[in-house]
Amino acid sequence: MICLSLGRVLGYLACAALIFLGIIFLLASVYAASRLLVGAILVLAGLGIAILTWRTGASQAPVKYELQMPGSLKVGSIKCPNCGAGLDPSTMQLKQGAPTVKCSYCGNEFEVSEEPKW
């Protein structure tokens, strides 16, 4: 989905209007030679605005994920499902909204999930 800001929409509309008027003036230069210069200036101005509008596109802000738990959270032990090595819970990272750990022994990266209490 393309989401344009108001400034970019106005820039593209101004670009289209200037290029359209420039083409009209270029076509009308058959009757008066002075319209050729005006048409060329309008087309060049429209193309310049198009380039500026395209280059000054909105940059996306970085997204920061934070994991906030109500109350205190204690992690007993984390074991790698691949090699069974005990891992340090402080190396846990949040990737795509899920806590993940990378095993320092075998290199396996896995999501940490809570086991059912029953």
- Whether 98 contacts 109, CB under 8 Å: no
pTM: 0.46
Quickly tell me which residue has 């095993």 as its tokens: 103
Tokens encoding 8? 């970019």
Q: For 93, left (φ over 0), alpha (ψ -120 to 50), or beta?
A: beta
Candidate ranges 5-14, 27-36, 37-46, 78-87; pick with highest mean pLDDT: 37-46
Encode pLDDT of 48-64 as tens digits. Answer: 998 988 887 656 667 77
- The model's confidence at residue 101, banded by pLDDT at 50, 70 and 90, is confident
Q: What percent of the chain has pLDDT over 70?
A: 79
Helix axes 6-28, 34-55, angle to 10 degrees: 160
- Collapsing DSSP states into helix, strand and coil, what is residue 95? strand
